[in-house]
Amino acid sequence: MLLGLGQEGFATFRFLRERFPQQQIGLADQSPLDQLNPEIAEAIRSDPQVRLHLGDHYLDSLVEYNVIVKSPGIPSTHPAIQQALELGTSITSHTALFFANCPATIVGITGTKGKSTTSALIHAVLEAGGLDTYLVGNMGNPPLNLLPQARADTIFVYELSSYQLEGLRQSPHVAVFLNLFPEHLDYHGSFEHYLQAKQNIIRYQSGRDYLVYNAASDILRGLVAETTTQRIPFSLESVLSPGCFVADGHILCDFPQGNCAQVMRAEEISLFGTFNLQNVLAAVAVGKILGVSRETIAEAVHGFQPLEHRFERVGTYQGITFYNASIATVPQATIEHLNALGEDVQTVLLGGYDRHLDFSALGDRIITSQVRTLILFPTTGQRIWEAVRLHEGTRATRLQPFFVHDMEEAVHLAYLHTEAGKICLHSPASPSFGLFRDYRERGKLFKHYVEHIGQMGETKVSGAETLNRVR
């Protein structure tokens, strides 16, 4: 059975149908047939060897199958899946099928934040080096779609979420582990389970494989300490051998060990913020592992532009500069964005779906900043404000909170309460679900209203427009 019929599920269906043309395949999804992607629906209608389990009761028949290929968005902790496991059903995934059948090299990238940017950077570096490379996973194509094009010298750059890593029994030849802090706890149930899923990216590596990791992370240093893989750490603070690091304003890579080379000046990087500098160090290390020259690496990194919704500069309107980081779904990311932009940030849009994360450090950082206006979405907006108000009697009394349910209202308030020459930052520190379909919709709406309202001319304050302010 295929459980979940999104892009990945459909790619899995085509892969299995090509190899088993006469095999009956069960297809389960919570959407009815007429609400599926039209291409998927047409393929299902034209296939007589499918058994459909669609709609509200799509999980009722799991126990009737020996093997389930599960979509990463469906938690393994779901009672229906647990019941199937107890009865001996095997659970696998699109990612596991790809790893088991791929004849090429896989570079896997994971971390709580920075996966997409680092994956795209690595792909750009390898492509500039003339290598046959594909970007797959969270931000690319489902990799099983590209398996027919794979050769022995092909390199798949695979962005791997904790969902995709869960249950995996193989690790990539080159693993990149950027950072680790609590996220997706509603899915995994605990930080320990989240960590165990992430650890699969290195769990099955051998001495022939490579691990690029953030040496500044205590958790990651502990995880990699007993691995047999060839380890290449990166750091902004320490000189490493082997490793990639920053010294005297330059990015250097000591790999192979004892062969330290200057790659480029740090100021030549087009990406903003120390967290992006760490992403670049990881990409440089992978480029060196796979034989790309330092000149080519520098050229690829220099020409790389920020990805949409990932700390992108939207523009300056009515004298206010707007940044969109809709992908910021944890407080640590928002703290990094505040650190990168400095004291000119006057307004921040925060809040979203509640995954029960700790906002105390974010509250501390807001209090020590020059931020004056907080525009807060449900449901974590209230919790973020409570974390700020723990500092009652300090700068918390000078902060203006507004509680909103609509992006147009939020952006309008940002124009009303941000001075010319200052910055408005959209970095929610929370997932998008609830008011928005996903972080992309949230970010696109932010950018749309920034541009639309900004082009209307000067925005003035009225009493009615500030009624939702909480004093």
Q: What does the DSSP assignment read for 120-182? A: HHHHHHHHHTT--EEEEETTSB-GGGGGGG--TT-EEEEE--HHHHTT-----SEEEE-----
CA dihedral 368, 114, 377, 194 (to 10 degrees): -100
Residues 6 or more apart whose Cβ sits within 8 Å of residue 340: 272, 273, 274, 275, 311
Domain with CATH 3.90.190.20 in the chain: 312-466
* pLDDT attached to residue 183: 72
Q: How far is the C-alpha of 344 from the C-alpha of 149, rounded, in Å?
A: 49
Residue 139: burial class (beta carbons within 10 Å; 0-12, 13-18, 19+)? middle
Domain with CATH 3.40.50.720 in the chain: 2-92
* pLDDT attached to residue 185: 67
Greatest Cα pair distance, the chain, in angstroms, is: 72
Domain with CATH 3.40.1190.10 in the chain: 97-302
* pLDDT attached to residue 345: 97
Sign of the CA dihedral 356, 358, 359, 360?
positive
**Is 0.85 topped by the overall pTM?**
no
173 CB neighbour count, 10 Å cutoff: 19
- Cis ω for the linkage preceding 378 (within 30 of 0): no
Q: How far is the C-alpha of 308 from the C-alpha of 341, rounded, in Å?
A: 18
The secondary element (H helix, E strand) that includes residue 345 is strand 345-350
* pLDDT attached to residue 65: 95
CB-facing half-sphere around the CA of 208: CA atoms within 13 A: 5
CB-facing half-sphere around the CA of 79: CA atoms within 13 A: 1
The number of angstroms, rounded, from the C-alpha of 395 to the middle of its chain's C-alpha atoms is: 32
Cβ-contact 410, 377 below 8 angstroms: yes
* pLDDT attached to residue 456: 82
* pLDDT attached to residue 394: 58
Sign of the CA dihedral 282, 283, 288, 293?
negative
* pLDDT attached to residue 251: 96
pLDDT tens for the 471 residues of the chain, in order: 999 998 899 999 999 999 999 999 999 999 999 999 899 999 999 999 999 999 999 999 999 999 999 998 788 888 999 999 999 999 999 999 999 999 999 999 999 888 999 999 999 999 999 999 999 997 768 999 999 999 999 999 999 999 999 999 999 999 999 999 877 767 777 888 889 999 999 999 999 999 999 999 999 999 998 899 999 999 998 999 999 999 999 999 999 888 899 999 998 898 878 889 999 999 999 999 999 999 999 999 999 987 788 889 999 999 999 999 999 999 999 998 999 899 999 999 999 999 888 999 999 999 999 999 999 999 999 999 999 998 766 565 689 999 999 999 999 999 999 999 999 999 999 999 889 989 999 999 999 999 999 988 665 444 334 434 443
The number of angstroms, rounded, from the C-alpha of 213 to the middle of its chain's C-alpha atoms is: 17
Which CATH architecture group holds 97-302?
A: 3-Layer(aba) Sandwich (3.40)
What's the token pair of residue 250? Answer: 């330059």
Q: How far is the C-alpha of 318 from the C-alpha of 206, rounded, in Å?
A: 56
CATH annotation of 312-466: 3.90.190.20
50-54 and 230-235 strand pairing:
unpaired
Residue 347 bridge partners (DSSP): 373, 424
Q: How far is the C-alpha of 102 from the C-alpha of 148, rounded, in Å?
A: 9
The number of angstroms, rounded, from the C-alpha of 15 to the middle of its chain's C-alpha atoms is: 26
DSSP per-residue letters across 420-457: TT-EEEE--SS--BTTBSSHHHHHHHHHHHHHHHHTT-
CATH annotation of 2-92: 3.40.50.720
* pLDDT attached to residue 458: 60
